[in-house]
Amino acid sequence: MKVFDLVESPEVGIVGCLHGNEKLGAQVIRTLSSREKKLPIRTVIANEEAMKRDVRYIDTDLNRSFPGGQGGGIEERLAPKILKALEGCRYIIDIHSTTSGMADCVVTTTDSFRKRKVRELIEAVPIGKVVIMNKSIGKRRSLIDHVRCGVSIEFSQDRAAESVAAIVERSIRNFGEDRRRHSRKEYFKVLRPLKIKDSSKLMMKDFRRVAKGSAFAVAAGKKIRADYDFYPIFINERGYKDTTCIIAKKIVLGKR
Ligand SMILES: [Zn+2]
């Protein structure tokens, strides 16, 4: 883990590389750190050991290892150190990149999303899609489940660090003095992971509705039809083992 403060007592924690093969986080941190006007941030490059080996994790998925502890593998022991490093920060932005070709999205969890501050932080991020993970995916062991206020953001892995850095800066400005809200958000509540065995063809796109009764994949020569309306996300994300995608429903806030 590498921790670096850009100013004294920074209020924002920027986390990158919880997953060692997601180098975008470190690139964005480098970009943010090189800004002439110092941002009020503490940067945390999380899983350096996994980065060196260019793997998602070594013993356990770090973003499923919080709060961690003394026993266990590398990530279990690293998790409490990360939480300790972030203790003084008022809020956290945790940067990820995905092998899925999907649009950028803010990721929160059912527990975390109950907090008003978290919902306000989400509103400050200039990204339109919000994914609310449940415990079928995060197991309540992700970083953002264990900090006072935090969100993760997923970017496509080939995104330029500069454009991601600009989004992070704008989020900080919006959540700070400006109190500007980026409205027009779509909220996707995760239902469960979906595994299609022997699939030869997928006929669905991330964040595009699959209507009840329509065919969304061909497996073992047969069309598979939807039992109910859903939205697939994280299609072909390699980090999610034994999962073709995650399925979600779209929700309207206030009717949660
Ligand atoms: Zn990740």
Q: Are 44 and 85 in contact (CB under 8 A)?
A: yes
**99 CA to centre of ligand 1 in angstroms:** 10
Determine the pLDDT at residue 67: 97
Using the predicted structure, report yes or no on whether residue 241 has a pLDDT greater than 90: no
- The CA 8 to ligand 1 mean position distance, Å, reads 28
Computed over every residue of the chain, the mean pLDDT equals 94
- According to the CATH classification, is domain 194-251 in 1.10.238? no
pLDDT at 200: 82
pLDDT band for 256, please (50, 70, 90 cuts): very low
User: Ligand 1 centre from 145 Cα, in Å?
Assistant: 15
Residue 182 above 90 pLDDT? no
The percentage of the chain sitting over the pLDDT mark of 70, rounded to a whole number, equals 98
| d(C-alpha 67, C-alpha 140), whole Å | 10
When computed from its CA atoms, the radius of gyration of the chain, rounded to whole angstroms, is 18
**Predicted pLDDT of residue 178:** 65
Say what the pTM is. Answer: 0.95
Q: What pLDDT is attached to residue 187? A: 97
Residues in contact with 11: Cβ distance below 8 Å, sequence separation at least 6, in sequence order: 40, 89, 90, 91
User: Ligand 1 center to residue 240 CA distance, Å?
Assistant: 10
Distance 122 CA to ligand 1 centre (A): 18
Q: How far is the CA of 73 from the centre of ligand 1 (A)?
A: 19
User: How far away, in angstroms, is 77 Cα from ligand 1 center?
Assistant: 18
Parse the chain into domains and list their residue ranges: 2-184, 194-251
pLDDT digits (tens, 9 = 90+) for 120-171: 999 999 999 999 999 888 889 999 999 999 999 999 988 999 999 999 999 9
How far, in Å, from the CA of 17 to the mean position of ligand 1?
7
Taking the centre of ligand 1 as the mean of its atom positions, its distance from the CA of residue 242, in whole angstroms, is 16
pLDDT band with cut points at 50, 70 and 90 for residue 180 = confident
Pairing of strands 41-45, 186-194: unpaired
Q: In CATH, which of 2.130.10.10, 3.40.718.10, 3.40.630.10, 2.40.70.10 is domain 2-184?
A: 3.40.630.10
The bridge status of strand 245-251 relative to strand 41-45 is unpaired
Cα–ligand 1 centroid distance for 25 (angstroms): 9
Dist. CA 106 → ligand 1 center (Å) = 12
Ligand 1 centroid–CA 66 distance in Å is: 14
Q: What is the pLDDT of residue 181?
A: 77
The closest alpha carbon to 93, from 194, 33, 171, 27, belongs to 171
- pLDDT surpassing 80 at residue 203: yes
- Write down the pLDDT at residue 113: 96
Predicted pLDDT at 176: 84
